[in-house]
A = this chain, B = another copy of it.
Amino acid sequence: MTRQRLFELIQSRASYLCVGLDTDAEKIPAFLRDQFPDPLWEFNRRIIDATRPYCVAYKPNLAFYEALGTAGWELLEKTVRYIGPDHFIIADAKRGDIGNTSRLYAKAFFEQLPCDAVTVAPYMGQDSVTPFLGFPGKWVILLALTSNPGSADFQFAQQPEGIPLYRKVARQAMQWAGPDELMFVVGATHPEDLRQLRQEAPDYFFLVPGVGAQGGDLNAISQAGLHAGGGLLVNASRSILYASSGPDFAEAAAAEAQALQLEMQQILEGKGGGEVAK
Q: How far is the CB of A169 from chain B (nearest CB, A)?
A: 7
Q: Is the Cβ of B128 less than 8 Å from the Cβ of A67? A: no
Q: With an 8 A cutoff between CB atoms, is A195 at the interface?
A: no
Our pick among B73, B94, B160 for the contact of A97 (Cβ within 8 Å) is B94
A127/B112 in contact, CB under 8 A: no
Also in contact, A124 and B148, with CB within 8 A (given A73-B69, A168-B157): yes
Bitwise, A104-143 to B at CB < 8 A (1) or not (0) is: 1101100011000000011111111100000000000001
Checking B63, B128, B151 against A125 with a beta-carbon cut-off of 8 angstroms, the contacting residue is: B151
Q: Which residues of B contact A125 (CB under 8 A)?
A: 146, 148-155
Contact of A181 with B by CB under 8 A: no
Q: Is A101 part of the contact surface with B, judged by Cβ < 8 Å? A: yes
Nearest residue, chain B, Cβ from A143: B123
Q: How far is the CB of A104 from chain B (nearest CB, A)?
A: 4
For A126, give its contact among B61, B67, B112, B153 (CB under 8 Å).
B153
Closest-CB distance, A144 to chain B (whole angstroms):
10
Among candidates B105, B154, B160, residue contacting A122 with C-beta atoms closer than 8 Å: B154
8 shortest A-B CB distances, which residue pairs?
A125-B150, A125-B153, A67-B104, A127-B150, A63-B104, A98-B148, A63-B101, A66-B108
Q: Which residues of A contact B (CB under 8 A)?
A: 22, 24, 61, 63-64, 66-70, 72-74, 77, 94-99, 101-102, 104-105, 107-108, 112-113, 121-129, 143, 146-155, 157-160, 165, 168-169, 172
